[in-house]
Amino acid sequence: MTTLQEVPEVLAGEANIQGYRDFTLGEFGFRRDEYFVYVTWPTGSHVLSADSFLRALQRDVAWEFFYGIVNFDGVLGTVNHYGTVDLFAGRYNDAYRKAELDHVENFPTPQIKATFEQMLDDWTNQTFDPFAAPRETGSAFGVKNGDNRRAITRRRVAAGRMVGVVDDEKLRSDEVGFPINAHFADVSQDEPEIHPEPGHEGELAAFSLFAYLSRSDVTWNPSVVSACKESLFCPTTEEYILPIIHGNDRVEWFVQLSDEIRWDVEDRDTGAVRAKVVMRPGDVAAMPADIRHQGYARKRSMLLVWENAAGDLPELIATGQMPTNPVEF
Ligand code: PHB
Ligand code: FE
């Protein structure tokens, strides 16, 4: 028997004078014009630049609301409860909290996802790719001008075991539409040689992660290249600014594979500054479970994000059964 999946209702108005539709989600209202996105809720309102809003929205949608908190900026964002999602304004902002102007609403994941997907589709013009570095995309601004469905619905790489394993994620090449990025022209494209014993052909796999990443067409988009139970290697190539301020609900390890990234690290709940971190090739950082962070990369760089996807971690950490720091010095 086949069952029809219920499609959540999305509340959207007619196109405004600039050609963009308004969206309503609970008591939140969203509207865009040539340059800006305007968000309203019962106790306040907020304005964001359309380009940074769409870059953040793209990631929130593509990552299924990610681990923990996705702050679009210091005011607006989402909290993933893995089944439901909080949409908030000012909840993790000390001044909004003290003035009691913050607002939070919880939605079933399919409902907020459907709304965000339609907003991303309607508000992304054909010239703009929210995953691309600024030097590789046209403008997000202006009146409505077509769409860019190919860019905003990219399939996310998620290896079951490892890239290159039979029936798993494939290697990248010119032929399959992944040329070497101009910033990685010097990266060796040599692949490891594999010599299996007779009878074990097809059971061994190895690949050059540097060559693979040199052909990434997106920025600030960790994707799973290998999985060992809950342990996920999620490398990514970075250029310009991480479009979200990520509030961790677990520890994340960063291994800087090339070039340089600067990180602003703040208290997750108040936004108070905790650290400035500069990571150069070979540097390793354990980002604690109670921080939020945003990265800056002048030149495209390679970062390995190592995640523990275990579903019980947020609860164990929130209840103090697990530490927020994985190492003590
Ligand atoms: C993170 O929040 O840890 C993060 C997100 C996206 C990236 C890198 C790191 O590209
Ligand atoms: Fe993070």
Per residue of the chain (329 residues), give pLDDT as tens. 455 667 789 999 999 999 999 999 999 999 999 999 999 999 999 999 999 999 999 999 999 999 999 999 999 999 999 999 999 999 999 999 999 999 999 999 999 999 999 999 999 999 999 999 999 999 999 999 999 999 999 999 999 999 999 999 999 999 999 999 999 999 999 999 999 999 998 889 999 999 999 999 999 999 999 999 999 999 999 999 999 999 999 999 999 999 999 999 999 999 999 999 999 999 999 999 999 999 999 999 999 999 999 999 999 999 999 999 988 87
User: Which ligand 1 atom lies nearest to the CA of residue 303?
Assistant: 8
Is the separation of the CB atoms in 247 and 73 below 8 Å? Answer: no
User: Which ligand 1 atom lies nearest to the CA of residue 252?
Assistant: 3
Q: Does ligand 1 come within 6 angstroms of the Cβ of 252? A: yes
pLDDT at position 22 is 98
Report every protein residue that has its C-beta within 5 angstroms of ion ligand 2: 246, 248, 252
Q: Does ligand 1 come within 6 angstroms of the Cβ of 292? A: no
User: Which ligand 1 atom lies nearest to the CA of residue 236?
Assistant: 10
Is the separation of the CB atoms in 50 and 38 below 8 Å? Answer: no
pLDDT at position 3 is 56
pLDDT at position 5 is 63
Q: Does ligand 1 come within 6 angstroms of the Cβ of 242? A: yes
- Atom 1, ligand 1: residue with shortest CA distance: 246
Spatial distance between the Cα atoms of 143 and 10, rounded to a whole number of angstroms: 22
Pick the closest to residue 8 from 112, 123, 122 (CA basis). Answer: 112
Cα 229 to middle of ligand 1, angstroms: 21
pLDDT at position 328 is 84
Residue 295 CB neighbours (<10 A):
22
Spatial distance between the Cα atoms of 2 and 205, rounded to a whole number of angstroms: 38
User: Which ligand 1 atom lies nearest to the CA of residue 59?
Assistant: 6
Counting beta carbons within 10 angstroms of the beta carbon of residue 29, is it exposed (0 to 12), middle (13 to 18) or buried (19 or more)? Answer: middle
pLDDT at position 327 is 85
Is the separation of the CB atoms in 228 and 191 below 8 Å? Answer: no
Going 94 to 95 to 98 to 104, the CA torsion angle's sign is negative
pTM: 0.96
Identity of residue 237: T
Q: Does ligand 1 come within 6 angstroms of the Cβ of 102? A: no
Name the β-bridge partners of 31.
Answer: 38
Which ligand does the CA of 255 lie closest to?
1
Cα 247 to middle of ligand 2, angstroms: 6
